[in-house]
Amino acid sequence: MEDPHFKRTRARDARRWERGDSTERKETLAVEEPLEIRLGGRRFTLTMRTPGNDEELVAGFLFAEGFIENAAEIDEIRRVRDGDGKPEDNIVDVILRVPVDSLRERLRRNFAMTSSCGLCGKTSIESIARRIRPPADAASIAASTLAGFGRSLADEQPLFARTGGVHAAAIFDLAGQMMAIREDVGRHNAMDKAIGWALERDLVPLRDAVVVVSGRLSFEIVQKAAVAAVPIVAAVSAPSSLAVELAEEAGTTLVGFVRDGSFNIYTHPQRILPR
């Protein structure tokens, strides 16, 4: 659901060329703005995102990246106020219930992992293995249900329908019911918002859920899902080679090209039932 406080689209004059003719028209663009995240008043990181659901984004990011272990470790996510006492749209401050030494170790470990990524796939996978929660082996879904998720996702993307410029991440239960969907200019942000939604409702680990994303399946998307113990991750597009390697190692069922009633299963196919 859109947060009415934030403007997520912006109109822009454009010239349309088609069949040799050009016309002036108004185009609707997805808003992209920076969000500064502070920890205890000190600047921590900056991300470019579509405004709205920022608290979910921050919670999901901190969890998926290993800075918190559960929602209880977040004391407060609050807007920073300007000199007139008005809340800033693009700055949030997070107060954590994490001992200083523990937080320092998590920061050190995370930055060590970040610096290692890109050296080789094996190094990247091993560096996050300690944070992956084993998904439920018993979780399963009917192939016919999974095949319809691409259409379900498309039908619930109002921002994409207006702009054509955002990604989506949705959480479904194993019966095929959509529980939540989030849109953002960044695919990783959409994923963090969806996980943050579940975290705030004490639904993590997501052992009885399917996460479906609108773009390709990257290593980062599979990593975030694996940390939340999501057993089945699907996308309307293709996975990368490293995403498949991570899914295989993590025990995640990875499904790509969910469109037009068909899909490809790349890892752990036993969770997809032939009915």
Look up residue 167 and give its two tokens.
Answer: 């990604």
Q: Show the tokens assigned to 68.
A: 């918190």
256 neighbors 239 (Cβ within 8 angstroms): yes
d(CA 211, CA 218): 13
Find, among 266, 259, 204, the residue nearest to 236 by Cα. Answer: 259
Specify whether the CB–CB gap between 125 and 189 falls below 8 A: no
Contact between 209 and 174 (Cβ < 8 Å)? yes
Provide the strand spans (E) within 50-120: 74-81, 87-96
Cβ atoms of 233 and 221 within 8 Å: the answer is: yes
Exposure on the CB side of residue 161, measured as CA atoms within 13 A = 6
**What are the tokens at 180?**
């939540």
Would you say 125 and 119 are in contact if contact means Cβ atoms under 8 Å apart? no
Among candidate residues 175, 174, 211, 217, the one with its CA nearest the CA of residue 195: 211
First to last CA, the chain: 32
Contact criterion met (CB below 8 Å) for 213 and 187: yes
Q: Is 28 exposed, middle or buried (0-12, 13-18, 19+ CB in 10 A)?
A: middle
Pick the catalytic residue from 39, 95, 103, 117. Answer: 117
Is residue 120 flagged as an active site residue? no
- What are the catalytic residues? 117
